[in-house]
Structure 1
Amino acid sequence: MSIPPDASPADTAALRRQRLHWLGSLAAAARSRQRLAALCICLSGALLIGQAAAIAWLIQAVLVQHRPLASAVPVLVALLAVLVLRALLGSATQAAAGEVADTARLALRERVYRRLLARGPLWLRQQRTGKLGELMLTHADAVENYYAGYQPVRIEVVVVPLLIVLAVAWTDWVVALILVFTAPLVPFFMMLVGWGAEAAGRAQLGELARMSGHFADRIKGLGLLRLYGRGEAELDGVAAAAEGVRERTMKVLRIAFLSSTVLEFFASISVAMVALYFGLSYLGLMSLHAQVPTLGVGMFCLLLAPEFYAPLRRLAAHYHDRANALAAAAEVERLLGELPAAEAAVDAPAAAPRAPELLEQHAPPVQVRDLVLRPVGARHDVIQGLSFQIEPGQRLALVGPSGSGKSTLLEALAGWLPPQSGSIVLRPGMDVGYAGQRPYLFHGSIADNLRLADPGATDAHLRAVAEAAQVMRFAEALPDGLDTVIGERGVGLSGGEARRIGLARLLLRDPQLLLLDEPTAFLDPDTEADLLRTLAAFARGRAVVIATHSEVAMRWADTRLTLTAGGTALATEASP
């Protein structure tokens, strides 16, 4: 969950540590590449000392001691080698850090996707898909910048400044003291700015998620908005959402520019103090040593002084990546209710206890005992004290008025909705298939949507289930038959046609228990009769539960289970 407004500093720090630990676990599979990046960036920093020493020696030897240029050739070659090696190490650091970032981003998307699968379709129906989509887009990008930018510099800022201070102290202890006493100013201001940056980043990600959800919802309902003349009016809502993102983004940028300015100011003051010390020493106005430092010593210290603060400045620049990553983790936690762990697995579809082993061999495929069901978000139960069983090959019709709980019962049998009390016992190995009233169809061909159930299905098998579900009755009239491309959510098809595709997809999966919600709705009598006839042949030997208002479908079933609107009275009877 996100940090509450009245959270204590200790709670806030604990939540931050928890999220940092979670962020660190995302790159667990790339620890070796992470160590390689840290090693390369530290070696590059160590070579920087040798580079400064070579430049300082050349200035002292050529300009002060007037040595011949030939004697400087080995040092020039060494300097060139150091420059080339540092360039290679920089490339290796970026490559390794990029691989770590890719691993972390993929891990985030996998964990979020698994958690969304575990939440189930009933929970997803209550969410805005635009917001959930941002978890795998903008939030994953924030984690990528955290690993590609902040993490390597975090190691560098611990090792390289320490090496520079030791090297400078060996040549001039005064400069080392200046560096040591001014260095804490940078982390102090980074800490102050970091708190504001994290809060601003969280607000920006939240605003971006809201805008994405708002825009995605309007795109999906564009036809309805145009039908009611609200198309132009919704532009104001989109503009307001975009303005909110702009304001939040500008606030983040203001914090970033302010922090960079402050840190650059203190780093420049510190380097100026080193330059002032040497200037006064060379002019004879300050004498803290037995003798004036040589020009080579002065150049060595002046070259390293900016480099001492460079990792700190880079850390400050990438500190916003850390803040954005923490904000992304907070948003993931807020939207999903938790930070998904690596071992998180998709919940098993059967949310009911199993019967004792000795009874399972002879038990019917499904046993329902004292079942009490309540739809997601509802305040009252729609089914109370329901008990029945389904035998192999039985065709059970769920009948009753709208709101009596027929669809809710099917969702519970499918394992989507846990009971309030009672149990649903499935025989071990029972494969359950569900075809709802609003089957989701993806943008693509009809055949592609069918093959979701069995990607390796042959064309002949595909056509057979399409014939059984009466899909070919309308597909043959389409330009490309089953290869005709349809829009997202079945745009271009009628409601009945979409349901028949959903039914054909279920038949292609070939489950042992078929759960069908109004499969014959919106069909003409001839098509309904043909569908029920082919369905009876296709489902021979399998149990079928069908929720329906159709008298024809009720007669097709061999048993009826009648549910009342109050959810208290029910009865089972044989179909006439």
Structure 2
Amino acid sequence: MDQTLAAEPLPQPSASRAAQVRRLDALGAPARGRLRAAGACTVLAGWLLIAQAALIAFAVQRALVDGHDPATLLPTLGVLLGVGMLRAGLGWAAREFADGAVATIRTQLRRTLARRLFAAGVPWLRRQRSGALSELTGTHIDALEGYFTGYVPARVESIAVPLLMLAAAFHADAIVGAVLLLTLPLIPFFMMLVGWSAESASRRQLRALARMGGHFADRLRGLGLIRVYGRGEDELAGIHDAAEALRARSLKVLQIAFLSSTVLEFFASVSVAVIALYLGLSYLGMIDLRAEPLTLGIGLFCLLLAPEFYAPMRRLAAHYHDRAGALAALEEIEQSSPPLKKGGWGDLLGAQQSRSQSKFPSFPLFQRRRASAEKRGETSTPSPPFSKGGNAGAPAIVVRDVALRHVGAARDVLRGLDLTIAPGEHVAVTGPSGCGKSTLLETLAGWLPPSAGTMRIEPAARIGYAPQRPFLFHGSLADNLRLAKPDASPAELQAAADAAQVLRFAAYLPDGLDTVIGERGFGLSGGEARRVALARVYLRDPGLLLLDEPTAFLDPDTERALLDALADYARGRTLIIATHSPAALRIVARALPLPAMPETVE
């Protein structure tokens, strides 16, 4: 199997604003039905305002002008009460639909981001700040909430509701309808002008928030080192400066949002005042632009309808900065996350709907699965405690004229490498520090593409890789082992831990393999963390074993026991071990010395 990895360029922001909005709307695909239901409820509630204003005007006209008995108005008041309750119910339903849609969208988008990060590969992840990556699935995705819960329903409402109100106003009084029609375009025009500034300010604020979040998270991880080197006061000052910059940018966004609302309120108020002035002058007989006298009911209906005519546009303006923030957040997510190989976000989210639940490692999820199975009384077919003898199949490795280079390095660490390893052969890679042993193993594991030459693993086989600095998650030792095999039985865990000499130190821990360790293996020594990583490889049942200094930091007795178990386990498997240990050389068939390249650092 040719192991080649092609670097893809990061996606560039679209030059078309319409294209950006389409990509943003595509994120709503998993909850399209709920979003449409929220919009429909919002529009119906707006249309009922016309009926509500007409009922109020009718009741006032009948009671105050026509002199009807108040008892005859009871049916009208009952219908008015029913319309009000129906509007309240539609408003509640619209909010419920929108909140449910946002919950689905955020879950799907976070799952998509997780898939992209997992698929990005180690070379890309090594160049990123973990704190900044966490902001992608936190603050940036949360910034999309206002768009779907506020802006999208308001956008539908601002199109459908004012049009029907405008028709009702023209039917009641052509002058009032003309005033509404002439003043309507001013609101979206000024909203668009303010929106450009809002989007730019939101983008700057999101970037500042991501920088601060990444900076703070990274400092928390290195808190012990900061204290050792006495840099606490300097780091506190840096965090204070970053917080102040974020505060200033956040206030800038709020200022623009308030400005947007003020502009729209001004034009809406002026328009309502013009209508009120026209109605008042008509009643005083100072102007007469109607063929028939203006009744109190018609005037009241128009006066009640005028502010509600602008209300959807005001709500749209109030949520317009949510649209600007969402566009900025989407652009930051696309630029800061690894690229998709095909299609866009909408395609990937749509494809996810047909997939089963994500299978990414989640220690509580493993525990819930086991608990659910035990509760249902399910039992799995007993598996052997520990698989030995190459059940996974041993591949051959053919390397021809390969050059290897670290990410970002100017020189190759290895050049012109030719290597053939037979199926089931055990090889030790030796050489001075910096000669490329770890780089060769990373390339064979698929973490790093060769800069030149070809590398084949035939046939394709499951690979088990234990690096020099293995990553251990916060959780128990057993949970970290189950990363390789979530459904591993206790017997399998015990056997793998015993073979990797994990039980030598786990037996003295408070809860054995159930003892909880910190992130990155906090609480374990370097040698203990490597043994946990080796046990994890054993559980994976690979056909190709890639081990980088597995016996480093071990005492002679532990090293001897580990190597004996490794030799027993690796029978029938292909084993490549990078080592400086003379004891490790005794369990392999041959050694492959790598020469040191000048001015290279591994």
Q: Same fold (TM over 0.5)?
A: yes
Aligned to 1:490: 521
> Identity of paired residues, percent?
58
Separation in structure 1 between the aligned mates of residue 510 and residue 65 of structure 2, nearest angstrom? 88
1:377 positional shift = 1.1
The answer on 1:412 being equivalent to 2:443 is yes
TM-score by length of 2: 0.88
The answer to whether the 8 A contact 1:404-1:567 is kept is no
Structure 1: unaligned runs, 5 residues or longer: 5-10, 347-361, 569-576
Deviations 1:332-385 (A, max 9, x none): 122126575355599xxxxxxxxxxxxxxx995222222121111111111222
1:30 positional shift = 2.0
The answer to whether the 8 A contact 1:384-1:567 is kept is no
Aligned to 1:353: none
Aligned to 1:71: 72
Aligned to 1:394: 425
Aligned to 1:327: 328
Aligned to 1:403: 434
How many residues align structurally? 545
Separation in structure 1 between the aligned mates of residue 567 and residue 146 of structure 2, nearest angstrom? 57
In structure 1, give the amino acid aligned to 2:399. Answer: V
Aligned to 1:92: 93
Question: 1:515 pairs with 546, 551, 557, which one?
Answer: 546
Residues 342 and 319 of structure 1, relative CA distance in 2, 3 Å threshold: closer
1:63 positional shift = 1.1
Separation in structure 2 between the aligned mates of residue 92 and residue 328 of structure 1, nearest angstrom? 28
Question: 1:525 pairs with 536, 556, 560, which one?
Answer: 556
Separation in structure 2 between the aligned mates of residue 387 and residue 61 of structure 1, nearest angstrom? 99
Equivalences for residues 48-447 of structure 1 within 5 A:
48-336=49-337, 338=339, 341-343=345-347, 364-447=395-478
1:104 positional shift = 2.0
SS at match of 1:217: helix
Separation in structure 2 between the aligned mates of residue 169 and residue 17 of structure 1, nearest angstrom? 33
Separation in structure 2 between the aligned mates of residue 495 and residue 435 of structure 1, nearest angstrom? 13
In structure 1, give the amino acid aligned to 2:303. Answer: L
Deviates more, 1:316-325 or 1:387-396: 387-396
Deviates more, 1:486-495 or 1:110-119: 110-119
SS at match of 2:345: coil
SS at match of 1:137: helix
Aligned to 2:31: 30
In structure 1, give the amino acid aligned to 2:85. Answer: V
The answer to whether the 8 A contact 1:368-1:389 is kept is yes
In structure 2, give the amino acid aligned to 1:483. Answer: D
Residues 253 and 25 of structure 1, relative CA distance in 2, 3 Å threshold: same
Deviates more, 1:532-541 or 1:315-324: 532-541
1:567 positional shift = 8.2
The answer to whether the 8 A contact 1:332-1:338 is kept is no
Separation in structure 2 between the aligned mates of residue 44 and residue 272 of structure 1, nearest angstrom? 25
In structure 2, give the amino acid aligned to 1:372. Answer: A
SS at match of 1:433: strand
Deviations 1:531-563 (A, max 9, x none): 100111122211111111112112322111111
The answer on 1:538 being equivalent to 2:569 is yes
Residues 337 and 470 of structure 1, relative CA distance in 2, 3 Å threshold: closer
Separation in structure 1 between the aligned mates of residue 335 and residue 72 of structure 2, nearest angstrom? 66
Deviates more, 1:214-223 or 1:534-543: 534-543
Please give the root-mean-square deviation of Cα atoms over the aligned residues, in Å: 1.9
The answer on 1:470 being equivalent to 2:501 is yes
SS at match of 2:586: helix
The answer to whether the 8 A contact 1:515-1:546 is kept is yes
1:494 positional shift = 0.6
In structure 1, give the amino acid aligned to 2:147. Answer: Y
In structure 2, give the amino acid aligned to 1:365. Answer: A
In structure 2, give the amino acid aligned to 1:227. Answer: V
1:141 positional shift = 0.9
Residues 138 and 364 of structure 1, relative CA distance in 2, 3 Å threshold: closer
Separation in structure 2 between the aligned mates of residue 198 and residue 317 of structure 1, nearest angstrom? 14
Aligned to 1:7: none
1:389 positional shift = 2.1
Residues 70 and 277 of structure 1, relative CA distance in 2, 3 Å threshold: same
Separation in structure 1 between the aligned mates of residue 591 and residue 146 of structure 2, nearest angstrom? 59
Separation in structure 2 between the aligned mates of residue 19 and residue 520 of structure 1, nearest angstrom? 53
Equivalences for residues 559-574 of structure 1 within 5 A:
559-566=590-597
The answer to whether the 8 A contact 1:61-1:67 is kept is yes
SS at match of 2:53: helix
Residues 337 and 513 of structure 1, relative CA distance in 2, 3 Å threshold: closer
1:252 positional shift = 0.3
Separation in structure 2 between the aligned mates of residue 207 and residue 337 of structure 1, nearest angstrom? 20
In structure 1, give the amino acid aligned to 2:256. Answer: I
Separation in structure 2 between the aligned mates of residue 50 and residue 280 of structure 1, nearest angstrom? 26
Aligned to 2:535: 504
In structure 1, give the amino acid aligned to 2:195. Answer: G
Separation in structure 2 between the aligned mates of residue 28 and residue 291 of structure 1, nearest angstrom? 52
The answer on 1:556 being equivalent to 2:587 is yes
- Moved runs in structure 1, 4+ residues, more than 4 A? 1-4, 337-340, 342-346
The answer to whether the 8 A contact 1:211-1:242 is kept is yes
Structure 2: unaligned runs, 5 residues or longer: 1-9, 353-392
In structure 2, give the amino acid aligned to 1:524. Answer: D
The answer to whether the 8 A contact 2:61-2:297 is kept is yes
SS at match of 1:556: coil
Residues 567 and 548 of structure 1, relative CA distance in 2, 3 Å threshold: farther
1:147 positional shift = 0.6
SS at match of 1:438: coil
Aligned to 2:375: none
Separation in structure 1 between the aligned mates of residue 463 and residue 289 of structure 2, nearest angstrom? 86
In structure 2, give the amino acid aligned to 1:529. Answer: R
Aligned to 1:350: none
Residues 430 and 2 of structure 1, relative CA distance in 2, 3 Å threshold: closer
Deviations 1:58-116 (A, max 9, x none): 01001111111222122111111111111111112111122222222223212222211
Deviates more, 1:364-373 or 1:502-511: 364-373
Deviates more, 1:334-343 or 1:375-384: 334-343
SS at match of 1:369: strand
